[in-house]
Structure 1
Amino acid sequence: MKNLVGEKKEKAVLVLDIGTSFVKLGLFDINANPIKDFQVKFEHWMTIKSDGTYIFNPKESAELIERGIDELLLRSSNFEIIAFSSDTMASTILGLDNNNEPLTEVYTYGDTRSYKELSDLKAAINQKKIYDETGCPMHTSYIPARILWLRRTNAEIFKNVRLWTDFSNYLLRRWMNNKNIPLSYSVASWTGIFDRKKLNWNESILKSIELEKNSLPELKSYDFNLVGLNSKYSKRWKNLVDTPFFLPVGDGVSSNLGVGCNSEKKIALSIGTTGALRVVTRKTDLKIPQGLWAYKIDPENSLLGGAFSEGGNVGLWLKKLMNMQINFEEIETDDLNRELEQLLLRSKPDSHGLTVLPFLAGERAVGWAENATGTLSGIRLSTTQTDIYQAFLESIAYRFGLVSRRLMTVLGEECTVIASGGAIKASKYWLQMISNVLGMKVSVSNVEQDTGKGTAILALVGLGVKKSLNDFEFEISDTYNPDEKSMIIYQNAMDRQEELYSKIFS
């Protein structure tokens, strides 16, 4: 008979994963595995406009997340929730008043309206010095130019902002009794105003954008936690009253740790809607290869790599544009995808004569070109739909290749790549191509909810339930090894792509 008085409840971590497209909530066991039937997922609505707007409403999103927590807790009475752990898309920024109430929308990394301010800022600062100190290239994805843009376009509101912080930090300020909530080094690293060497806000960049240090949160490592909901949420979430809430981390960190990429021997490659190639390093004198970023995880560890605005979104766009797929959303199960995959598997590498720059959503790594757009070169009357589709997939793989070349100058030893993400895992053709382009063995992660798992891992290690990041299991479903002939073809094609890039963006 279950649920007898005094019966021990199963321990679980409640994980909140704040993504750009979706928000996920779930319970994870003490081995950081998702607990079946205790997972909630819902869409995260953004306001996106052609002028570069990419924002969302903080209160609406907070209320949506809170209803999700309500739903999960209603079904979780048989669990002892030993930690609340969060990860978040980065970077985001909003302004709060003296009562921690939002005065602005939440501006995301995808908002590009600060490009003019960025240009002015680049001319005014020592970019090389700031890049080395913050680990972030100068780009609209980061906070410095956005602060200048907000001051210019929202002067009155700007004057009334007491604190600039990120969305995940706002949530904790909304829920906790203690209103002075620090920001983790991880989330701060994504802002472009954090000094990765001093573990503090960077004084040079703050001076350049005329922002006071006291208008930003304090800083702590991710394992700092708080206990004590305020009166409103203590009544609403009774089984979280004594639960420690850990500081949120950037979702890239969680994604790496969730597939077992917690050292320099394993590089995490993810392609979902967008893409990234990242590695965890403990190098204390880390020199960042040009075009990459370095974000602190904690005082000892950094996340080094590059992220892309292109990934599975490009494939979806192509299928819709060329009427290859009527239903824009269902990409993994219809017959068309299976037929397309078979056509691609029979194709030869770079056999179409096309060169593509896949910047349909702008460029981040490795060139960080402002207002970059996509380019398709070499098209002929003989060019087919499959040729175009293949060329775009190859072009995305080459961007990963460019990041990989730079990573290897730091790592300097043989590594294994662990691939995850719905878009890449759906295509054996793309997986083999990635292995050929990188010239490395690529193993496919079989981990369910890798980002959530990584976030749970951080909480379990932070609590001392597990001793280290190595005390967890990570399944692999398949492995791909590079083909030497294809490697040579792709290297030449990658060089051709770089030539086209230099002609357009130099």
Structure 2
Amino acid sequence: MTRPVDDVALGAAQDPLVLAVDVGSTASRGGIYDATGRPVTGLQHKVPHAFTVAPDGTSVIDPDQVTAEIEQIIDALTRDGALGTRIGGVAMDTFAASLVGVDAEGRPLTPCLTYADSRCAGEVAALRAQLDERAVHDRTGTRIHTSYHAPRLRWLARSDPRTFAAAAGWWSLGEYVYRRLIGVNAAGTSTAAWTGLLDRHTGGLDQELVEAAGARAEQFSPIHDVADTVRPAAAPRWPALAEARWFAPLTDGFASNVGAGATDPTVMAAATATSGALRVLLPGPARPLPFGMWNYRVDADRTLLGGALNDVGRAIAWATSALRLDGDLGRVVTIPPSPATPLVLPYLTGERAPHWAGDARAVITDVTAATDGAALFRATVEGIAITYARVAAELEPAAPQAAQIVASGRVSNDLPDWLQILADVLGRPVTHVTLKRSTLRGTALLALDVLAPSTPRAPRPTGATYEPVGGRADYYAERVARFAEVYDAVVGR
């Protein structure tokens, strides 16, 4: 266990400073970090937001709204005149797999489709019939799925052909924000990878997929590696950023691993926010690549191997609200497991890893007259842990060096004792990384690796390590098997 990363007063902060921004599923956040990776006291700002969702699979957000949030954050972080021009870099990550159609002037023609928008499920089936998905997976590291650009673009062409024909560009949310803020078209390597269109071996667009999507290569932004900063088209309106280098937009998954300290093949990171993931950074492309996993190229030398879950914090928030629970949720997750607990498949917005059923929906079964709200909540949390275990079962053979599991994110910080359930289901110790805003700090650290590579970083803060409890292995093995049985019967593959 290590002590938290202390804030540092501006006067004591080591230069260069970095202004980091994280656009997540529930809020945009920003903070100033010094060269050691410590947050500067009082220089953090948050603007909440929410996706617009609908039963048909819609999950969108207004890109201009997010741009205004980022402007508000930068205003708040740079108003202290004592900053001068000490900020050496600006870096931003966003939730991954976003898509905005724009016209020739860079104005939005569509809302921003988020990773959870599943309206293109029909196009997924059509593309899987048309293309060799295993060959696509080997080239791009991604499956054909509702989260990625190829089926989404096909769906837009079918559902709104006029808008599709008028689009001059297909950008991620981060690219859109940068165009509005500094007049630059730029995608980070990781951002391009999360489109599902990037060849993980070469770093270029996959032409077969681009053509299958009905798109053209020139509709996508130039791709920049982490070290390749971009020059604003005009001086930004913030004097404090006059000397800052701007880093092309990153994805939150890459930043989350770095913030949690999972920066080499020995450490597997469990992200536990609104959505979740299990990920490990590798030197180069994964070989072999399990068919249920993705392998994103994140820079010229590294790829990120893992699998994502749409519904972690989202499922917990839904259960808390729908079941009208106002008691001690910590007590519910710490009681011993019971065979009377129902079974929940927590697919509120579809499944990504390991089987990529974009139209999957939640299933609740094994309910009796004795089942109460607390039991259903416990079942939801167990179901979430089992979804992680299903990812781990495919991931581990491809990452044999990953002996350590670390967990970070809002869910682990708000409900840390749920990590005991995760450890019991995985059958492996799980260490809690207690740092708040770990993704935001990871974004700052990636910039600092370029700006101040020789400066020692503040240590990663950790809490308890949860060891599997003896005697629970058989219970959870039965739950995992029952989950698979219900999944195969209801969701299928």
Q: What's the TM-score once normalised by structure 2's chain length?
A: 0.92
Give the Cα–Cα distance (whole angstroms) in 2 for the partners of residues 399 and 423 of structure 1: 15
Q: Cα 1:353–1:239, aligned 2, differ >3 Å: closer, same or farther? A: closer
Is the partner of 1:197 in helix, strand or coil? coil
**CA offsets, 1:324-352, max 9 Å, x none?**
23xxxxxxxxxx22xx43354232x2421
Does the 8 Å CA contact 2:157/2:164 hold for their aligned counterparts? yes
Give the Cα–Cα distance (whole angstroms) in 1 for the partners of residues 262 and 338 of structure 2: 31
Q: Structure 1 residue 425 and structure 2 residue 413: aligned?
A: yes
Give the Cα–Cα distance (whole angstroms) in 2 for the partners of residues 288 and 409 of structure 1: 10
Hey, what does 1:392 align to over in structure 2? 380
Hey, what does 1:123 align to over in structure 2? 129
Does the 8 Å CA contact 1:34/1:449 hold for their aligned counterparts? no
Give the Cα–Cα distance (whole angstroms) in 2 for the partners of residues 448 and 212 of structure 1: 40
Q: Cα 1:383–1:227, aligned 2, differ >3 Å: closer, same or farther? A: same
Is the partner of 1:423 in helix, strand or coil? helix
Give the Cα–Cα distance (whole angstroms) in 2 for the partners of residues 341 and 161 of structure 1: 49
Hey, what does 2:22 align to over in structure 1? 17
Q: Structure 1 residue 228 and structure 2 residue 236: aligned?
A: no
Q: Structure 1 residue 403 and structure 2 residue 391: aligned?
A: yes
Residue 215 of structure 1: how far off its partner (Å): 1.5
Q: Cα 1:3–1:188, aligned 2, differ >3 Å: closer, same or farther? A: closer
Is the partner of 2:490 in helix, strand or coil? helix
Listed as ranges, the matches of 1:201-240 within 5 Å are 201-230=205-234, 234=236, 236-240=237-241
Give the Cα–Cα distance (whole angstroms) in 1 for the partners of residues 64 and 332 of structure 2: 47
Give the Cα–Cα distance (whole angstroms) in 2 for the partners of residues 49 and 15 of structure 1: 32
Hey, what does 2:4 align to over in structure 1? none
Hey, what does 2:34 align to over in structure 1? 29
Q: Cα 1:414–1:63, aligned 2, differ >3 Å: closer, same or farther? A: closer
Is the partner of 1:141 in helix, strand or coil? coil
Listed as ranges, the matches of 1:1-400 within 5 Å are 10-75=15-80, 77-78=82-83, 80-176=86-182, 179=184, 181-230=185-234, 234=236, 236-325=237-326, 336-337=327-328, 340-347=329-336, 349-352=337-340, 354-400=342-388
Q: Structure 1 residue 487 and structure 2 residue 488: aligned?
A: no
Residue 405 of structure 1: how far off its partner (Å): 1.4
Give the Cα–Cα distance (whole angstroms) in 2 for the partners of residues 365 and 8 of structure 1: 41
Q: Cα 1:457–1:372, aligned 2, differ >3 Å: closer, same or farther? A: same
Residue 188 of structure 1: how far off its partner (Å): 0.7
Q: Cα 1:208–1:351, aligned 2, differ >3 Å: closer, same or farther? A: same
Q: Cα 1:225–1:504, aligned 2, differ >3 Å: closer, same or farther? A: same
Does the 8 Å CA contact 2:10/2:40 hold for their aligned counterparts? no
* Unmatched runs of 5 consecutive residues or more in structure 2: 1-8
Hey, what does 1:447 align to over in structure 2? 435
Give the Cα–Cα distance (whole angstroms) in 1 for the partners of residues 172 and 151 of structure 2: 16
Is the partner of 2:311 in helix, strand or coil? coil
Find runs of 4+ consecutive structure 1 residues off by over 4 angstroms.
Answer: 7-10
**CA offsets, 1:204-262, max 9 Å, x none?**
1112222211111122212210233525xx3x212213311001111011111001000
Give the Cα–Cα distance (whole angstroms) in 2 for the partners of residues 313 and 104 of structure 1: 25
Give the Cα–Cα distance (whole angstroms) in 1 for the partners of residues 148 and 330 of structure 2: 37
Q: Cα 1:11–1:144, aligned 2, differ >3 Å: closer, same or farther? A: same
**Partner amino acid for 2:141?**
G
**CA offsets, 1:428-485, max 9 Å, x none?**
541111111112111111223211111011101122x1249x8552111111112242
Count of residues paired in the alignment: 483
**Partner amino acid for 1:135?**
G
Q: What's the TM-score once normalised by structure 1's chain length?
A: 0.90
Q: Cα 1:22–1:283, aligned 2, differ >3 Å: closer, same or farther? A: same
Does the 8 Å CA contact 2:153/2:214 hold for their aligned counterparts? no
Give the Cα–Cα distance (whole angstroms) in 2 for the partners of residues 485 and 51 of structure 1: 43
Does the 8 Å CA contact 1:227/1:243 hold for their aligned counterparts? no
**CA offsets, 1:343-389, max 9 Å, x none?**
54232x24215322111222221121132111122111222332222
Q: Cα 1:429–1:472, aligned 2, differ >3 Å: closer, same or farther? A: closer
Hey, what does 1:501 align to over in structure 2? 487
Q: Cα 1:173–1:353, aligned 2, differ >3 Å: closer, same or farther? A: closer
Does the 8 Å CA contact 1:184/1:247 hold for their aligned counterparts? yes
**Partner amino acid for 1:156?**
R
Hey, what does 1:331 align to over in structure 2? none
Is the partner of 2:25 in helix, strand or coil? coil
Give the Cα–Cα distance (whole angstroms) in 2 for the partners of residues 350 and 366 of structure 1: 27
Is the partner of 1:42 in helix, strand or coil? strand
CA-atom RMSD in angstroms: 2.3
Give the Cα–Cα distance (whole angstroms) in 2 for the partners of residues 71 and 124 of structure 1: 50
Does the 8 Å CA contact 1:292/1:304 hold for their aligned counterparts? yes
Residue 182 of structure 1: how far off its partner (Å): 2.9
Hey, what does 2:459 align to over in structure 1? 473
Does the 8 Å CA contact 1:32/1:472 hold for their aligned counterparts? yes
Is the partner of 2:390 in helix, strand or coil? helix
Give the Cα–Cα distance (whole angstroms) in 2 for the partners of residues 55 and 393 of structure 1: 26
Larger RCO, structure (CA 8 Å, separation 6 or more): 2
* Unmatched runs of 5 consecutive residues or more in structure 1: 326-335
Is the partner of 1:70 in helix, strand or coil? helix
Give the Cα–Cα distance (whole angstroms) in 1 for the partners of residues 414 and 23 of structure 2: 23
